Structure 1
């Protein structure tokens, strides 16, 4: 339970894409509302953290550090593929075009959050990016982890009940998934705490941090409030 006089402030990274709504078609900072709703339902205040259009801002450690200084927790959201150049591999033919701004921004946010030992929940692309930050690599093409174009699939994840997130969710969970990439070489300092039936890595934790969890599935799509509540509760313990 958060014993402070305010709700934990949770930063959520966002897309920066060309989008349309109403009569408008513009570059926009966007995010599925499910992320915001889950943070709010878990007792936090959601603050959106889009990459700016200034390349020097998104890769500047001091800019990210100042941003993270105002937060109690960080969510790295799902989205397009991580640029394979980040883990020194050539681009597979199915890999998305690089989002260099977003990669740089989220890596800087993650680094700043880890430096402060802030609670981090890294979702889908976020888990992959966490692995890359720790020196790992990705499988660039995985079959059958989508339900179709813009349709979530479903997977059964076996979890270690003695470690996050299994200590919250139990030994297994049926989860929504939508990805065609996955963790390959595990980053040094991360531990595997969940796998899919095909053996793919589905959950990781940073062994040297209090609450840094990466999940390959989409708990926001499932409104898995147990995981969000535990994350926000830990954010409420951050000393300010």
Structure 2
């Protein structure tokens, strides 16, 4: 897959207008900067609304052939988003499409395969930074520091058999990166898009996962 042939679709968080009560979908503008850094001239991408079981057909009609499950919204808080992402993952699994789950998105990969989550120490994982230790070729092999914006996580011993860990938090051994054993799916608990300047290792992870030509 080259930059000319990959078209990622990215999921969005749910917001509610306090005055009207209208529900809306939203995405951090940081993603535009991150996608621009991935490929010379920028990488095209598509935002996917939380239209639940209708979303896979929309994604297919738009030519989407890769997915990013973005962060925000704890699982169970926005049922329409949960159903949208579960439908998209079933669609991606049937077509062997590459998926990258970010923070909540990685938690959704765990949930999709029947795994549970645990509440983590806020001082270590909520608006914090901490080192991780890579455990495989698709994660940083050396210790590096990442950002952290989540209160829920998981540990290696509760990973479903379909998943394996790639990096752990150096302080508490919670999983910071994982991949599916038999699908091209990758999960990261940190937010590559939130760094002021994209980390070269994060750009390499995305490029390698999507087969982008440098």
| TM-score interval, smaller chain | 0.7 to 0.9
Q: Deviations over 1:52-107 (max 9, x none)?
A: 3xxxxx135xx415524621311000112112xxxxxxxxxxxxxx2100001011
Aligned residues: 203
Which residue matches 2:16?
Answer: 18
Which residue matches 2:78?
Answer: 99
Residue pair 1:16, 1:102 contacting (<8 A) in 2 also: yes
Which residue matches 1:91?
Answer: none
TM-superposed CA distance for 1:221, in Å, is 1.0
Q: Deviations over 1:186-239 (max 9, x none)?
A: 122100111102111111100112x311011111112235434542454357xx
Which residue matches 1:220?
Answer: 193
TM-superposed CA distance for 1:24, in Å, is 9.1
CA-atom RMSD in angstroms = 2.6
Give the TM-score of the pair, scaled to structure 2.
0.83
Give the TM-score of the pair, scaled to structure 1.
0.75
Which residue matches 1:76?
Answer: 69
Match of residue 42, structure 1, among 38, 45, 48: 38
Q: Does 1:128 align with 2:107?
A: yes
Match of residue 163, structure 1, among 100, 120, 137: 137
Runs of 5+ in structure 2 lacking a partner? none
Q: For residue 45 of structure 1, give the secondary structure of its aligned residue in structure 2.
A: coil
Runs of 5+ in structure 1 lacking a partner? 53-57, 84-97
Residue pair 1:19, 1:25 contacting (<8 A) in 2 also: yes
Change (3 A) 1:80 1:174: same
Q: Deviations over 1:102-139 (max 9, x none)?
A: 00101111221122222211000000010010111111
